Structures are given as structure tokens and as C-alpha cells.
Amino acid sequence: MPQAMARTASKPLVVLPMMYGAAAAQLANAAWAAVPGPFMDAMLASTALALLCDFGPSAVRDVSTSIEAQATSVLAVMDASPNQILIDNFVHNLSPADDEMVALKEEAVQRLSDVNAWSALVRFRVAADALGVWLLHRGTYAGAAVLLAAHSIYWSSGGASARVDRFGNRTPLPARFARLMAVATASLALSAAVASLGQRGSASRLQSFAGWAYSVGLALTQLTRIVAGRVQATGRMPASEVGG
């Protein structure tokens, strides 16, 4: 089956961007309407910005890429396998597999395994986004900590090194970028966790400081990514340096 047919196996992801857009809108509305405290409003607003400008587009891109890569890799495994027939509940090869075909199949199987590993990390990140947003909607501001902690786990667990393109080829991001993202998201998660302790009753100075640190840090991160995207669009920066 040609590559074009493999690409059609991935249907356009319509629901995912709508969900991220709706979540961002609801958080922004909560930040505008509710009065839990200035830094809590800022946390909601900055998280909404991240969902709209970063987490949402990244999720749509990575999920779409992983679906297409899985379809392509499965086809590659099938193409590298000898013709088979089922007789008496046993699979029999119609032709002997030569060394070249065996090597091709092993390579295809390994590629499929790599694609599945990265796909699992991507889906974990998206599921954590959903959980974090759900907690925020219920007034539990620790949801921001859950969301950012999951992103830190994604980067520290090989989200950059295991990255693949739509054909299933490895396209890792620089290790220094992965380490930077893991540390940055972990720091934001810690700030959100400390700030969320003050959502009931009066907040301490430490909690207020942590809340503002989370809000400003996350907003600056989004601004940096927007600028990096513009630079990439002008051809001044490789795509691998912008991140995912």
C-alpha cells in the first residue's frame, strides 16, 4: 500500500483542537469572573494562554503525527512479511523468507516499537492535560501542578529522544532542550503546588509569590515559544530547536 494510503488512515483531528480551545476559553472566563485572589486569577489566565498557544497545538500535532506514523509502520511490517496462509489454525509462509526480508522485517518491527513508545508518551501528556484542566474547572488549583508535572515527566522520560515523524523515522530533539524543558516545567509545577495550598482561606506571602512565579514564568515561556516560532518561520532557526 503506498504512503498516500497510509496517510489517509489518520483522520483529521477535529475534536482535540476544539477541546483545547474550549478549555482555554473556560479558564479565561473563570479568571475574569471569579474572585479567588489576584494570583489565582493570573494562574488561570496563564494556563489558558498555554493551552491555546502551546499545549493544544502541540497535542494536535503530536497525536496526528503518531497516528500517521503507526499506520505507516504497520504497513511497513506487513510489506516486509512473507506471504502467509492459515491452515488448520497454523500460519504457513508461502515462500521462504530470505535474509534481506528478515532484516527488513526486524527493522520495521523496531520502528513500530519506537513509534508506539512515543505515542504512549504523547497520549499520557494529553490525558494529563485533560485531568489538570478538569481539576482547575472544579476549583482545585492543584490541577495546574498536575498538568505541568505531567509535562515534566514527558520530557524527562524520553519525549524528546523518542520523537518520530509521520513516517516513523526518529527525529529526536536536542538533549539540552529536553533537560531545559523538564526542569522548567518541574519548577512551574512546584510553584503551582505551593500556590494551590492557599486557595482556601488567606494565602501566605510564599503562596502568593509562588502563584505569581507560576503565572509570569508560564506566560514568558509562551512568549518565548511564539518568538521562536516566528524566527523559525523566517528560516533563522532549525525546527528542532523550537521544541514540541
Domains in the chain: boundaries = 3-241
Per residue in 125-138, pLDDT tens? 999 999 999 999 88
Highest mean pLDDT among 20-24, 51-55, 146-150, 200-204: 146-150
Q: Regarding predicted confidence, which is higher, 27 or 204?
A: 27
Q: Which residues pair with 170 in a beta bridge?
A: 164
CA 140 to CA 197: how far, in whole Å? 10
pLDDT at residue 82 is higher than 70 = no
Instruction: Determine the 3-state secondary structure of 7 from DSSP.
Output: helix
C-alpha 10: how far from its chain's center?
17
Average pLDDT value for residue range 97-107 = 66
pLDDT at 123: 94
Classify burial at 18, counting beta carbons within 10 Å of its beta carbon; exposed 0-12, middle 13-18, buried 19 or more: exposed
3-state SS of 205-230 is HHHHHHHHHHHHHHHHHHHHHHHHHH
Per residue in 152-180, pLDDT tens? 999 999 999 999 998 888 999 999 989 99
Q: Regarding predicted confidence, which is higher, 208 or 187?
A: 187
Instruction: Render 40-93 in DSSP notation, one character per residue.
Output: HHHHHHHHHHHIIIIIHHHHHHHHHHHHHHHHHHHHHHHHHSPPEEEETTEEEE
pTM score, whole prediction: 0.79
